[in-house]
Every structure is written in C-alpha cells, then in structure tokens.
Amino acid sequence: MDSILVRGNGPLSGQIPIAGAKNACLALMPATLLSEEPLTLTNAPRLSDIRTMTQLLASLGAEVTALQDGKVLATSCHGAINPVADYDIVRKMRASNLVLGPLLARLGHAVVSLPGGCAIGARPMDIHIDALTALGAEIELKEGYLHAQARGGLKGAVHEMRFASVGATENFLMAAVLAKGTSVLKNAAREPEIVDLARCLRAMGAEIEGEGTSDITIQGVDRLHGATHPVVTDRIELGTYMLAPAICGGEVECLGGRIALVESFCEKLDAAGISVEETARGLKVKRKNGRIRAVDVVTEPFPGFPTDLQAQMMALLCTAEGTSVLEERIFENRFMHAPELARMGARIEVHGGVAKVHGVDRLKGARVMATDLRASVSLILAGLAAEGETVVSRVYHLDRGYERVEEKLRAVGAQIERVKGE
C-alpha cells in the first residue's frame, strides 16, 4: 500500500492549477442516463472516484470515454439500460447513489445498492427517499438494495427537505427534469456543485430556476438532448492548496480559484492572518505577518464553512497563537484526524462534535495514518510545516479526491514524494 513522505522545508512559492470539482463531476456524470444523446464534460478531474463512477455507468449500459489525458469525459447512453446498480461497485463510493434519480426518470424503475464511502458518519438515504417519493416513486429497502419504481412515471410536486442535503437535491433535480408538470424543492442545498448541475441540465434542455437559492423550481420536459459542459472549479481542492502557504509561509497562486467559491473560508483565513487576493488567473495566498492567530470554526451547509475543509483547517490551527474551537455540525466521526495530528505534537481535545486546538510552536514529523479523504491531506499539510519527516500511510483515500498531489506541491517547492507499497 502506498504512502506519502513529506519533509518540512520552509516557504512555498509558485502556482498550483486547481482541477474540476470531484463532487460536481460525480453528479454530472449520471446525467448522461437522462438522454440518448452524448454529454461531454470538460475540465474533469483525474481521480479514482471518477473511475469508479465510470465503472458504475458502464455496468448500467452507458459509455464513458476519457479524452485529453482524462480531462474530457465523453459520455453516452443511447442503448439498452440495466436498472440495477450492483453492491460491488456502489459500496466503493457514496456518490454512487446519484444514479437513482436518473434511472427512475429514464426508466421508471431502478434497483440501487445502499452506498459506501468514507467512514465519517451515517449519511442516511432517507432524505433521498423522501424527495423521490414526493415525485411519485415507491421505494422499498430489501436485502441492502433500494427497489424503486414510478408507476405511470414521475409527477411534479412540491417537497421540503428536513435538511439541505446536497446529494438529495441532486437526485431530486435529475428526477424532476423529466417528471410530468412542475416541481419545487424547498430547503434545497445551495452549493456551487448544485448550481453546476443545474447549468448542465439546462444546457441539455431542462427548465430549471432558482439554483443557488433555497427554492428550486423545475418544469418537467419530455426529453433532454446532448450538451458540452465545463466542470466547475473544485472549491475543496482550492481551499486545501490555499492552506499550503498559510501553513508553510511563502506565496502561492491557485489558478482557477474564485473567492465566491470559498467566501466563508476566506473570512476565517483573514481572521487567522492570511491574505487572499483575487487575480486575473485565480487566488494569491500568503501570510500577512507573524504567527497564525487562533480562530473558531463551525461547519455548516454552503455558504457556511465547508465540512470538507475542517480537517485541513485544523492542521493550520495546530500551530496558531492561542486556542481555537472547531465545531462539526455536518458529520459525526469527523475528528478522526485529531489523534494522528497529536502524534505530531498537536494539542487537541475532542468532546463529541467539538474540538479544542491549543496552538504549539512547532509540529514534529511522525508516522501517521489517513482515516478518510480529507484527513489524509490534512496530515500532508501538517507534515509540510513539521520538523523532520512525516510518513502518511493509507493514502488510497487521497487518490479519491486529489489528482497528482505530490506533483502540484513539488511545483511550489515542497519536499514530498510517494513511496510505492508492495
């Protein structure tokens, strides 16, 4: 099993290109099931999760071809469709559940295994089920599979979600675009990935209004056509690499970044003593002066502070001046990186969904283990600023969400390499 070796070596300088958003692309790819015509996605990230979704779509009868070194995905679903999403594929990735809405819309029935993914909380499917049931679907759980059908087709409806779930919003959108009549989703997720999906569906002929707000209105259409759509910039990869010069010092420009994607995150960086400047090509990040200051963070749905940047932010605050309090309100079990940071000399107290981080002067390199996707990169960031060598094991998590991380960090002066396992 591969590991990542990091040596702390001081300030960073240069540019890091930010990839297309993993979470956006994983929702856009199943949209190919909605049409017999081709859907082409540009600015696609090159990640193992994208390969998993490719495998899943192929098992359903879709064709996905990676072009231009994987940055372009040419998809098509013009033949017979298999309505069964098998456990052996779905278990690998939470986003696999996003085929449920499109299959129901296109076929009127689907059998989809309950999904897997990072062990960061229950993330139940009931919000998805409630949303699709509102459109007329009948869904039953049998032997680990959701058996769904829409007798007579899906029908437009008004539905209010009890929680602004991103995945449930995406499933509702993809189901409602081919439903008969008008649908309104209240308390919809507002994330940029939702806006990106709505724009893609609109390019395919869907009639959608209100994406990016809490109320989205969809007027069902008879069919969708093909389209070409660029995947939005990955705001989580963006935030992660913005933290590299914040932790190590120096100045890095993150190409393709926009403050609008990470505004609440930028506010916390500013409070901690980090300067973020929007340029013609992206975001330029550097420390203002002196030591990082402690800040308090509460994770919330967009436009609040992203839960997917909590672990990376904790790595920064380990060496801040003072005590920071991080409250995780999205997922339980999302402080599993704290004991690993403690192995590097961090002082962290965890009580339920709250972590107190008492800043220390310097972290020290150690052997640590990645517990999930975002935790893995937080340990790499910590290693960049630590004395000596840090070895991060179980980095297969990392490859699910960050493309060529060693290459991107080496380009700005980091001492980092992948050590191949047996």
Q: Catalytic amino acids?
A: 118
23 among the known binding-site residues?
Answer: yes
Quickly list H helices, 100-191.
Answer: 100-107, 126-134, 166-176
367 among the known binding-site residues?
Answer: no
Which one, of 288, 297, 338, 289, lies nearest residue 318 by Cα?
Answer: 338
Placement of tokens 């890091």 in the chain = 16
User: 124: Cβ–Cβ under 8 A, 6 or more apart, which residues?
Assistant: none
- DSSP H or E run through 381: helix 373-385
**Strand spans (E) along 8-98:** 12-17, 39-42, 63-67, 72-76, 84-85
Tally helices (H) and strands (E) across the chain. Answer: 14, 24
**Cis omega before residue 303 (within 30°)?**
yes
274 among the known binding-site residues?
Answer: no
> Is there a contact between 327 and 357 (Cβ–Cβ < 8 Å)?
no
330 among the known binding-site residues?
Answer: yes
Longest pairwise C-alpha distance within the chain = 65
Mark the binding-site residues for phosphoenolpyruvate, compressed into ranges.
Answer: 22-23
Mark the binding-site residues, compressed into ranges.
Answer: 22-23, 94, 308, 330
Mark the binding-site residues for UDP-N-acetyl-alpha-D-glucosamine, compressed into ranges.
Answer: 94, 308, 330
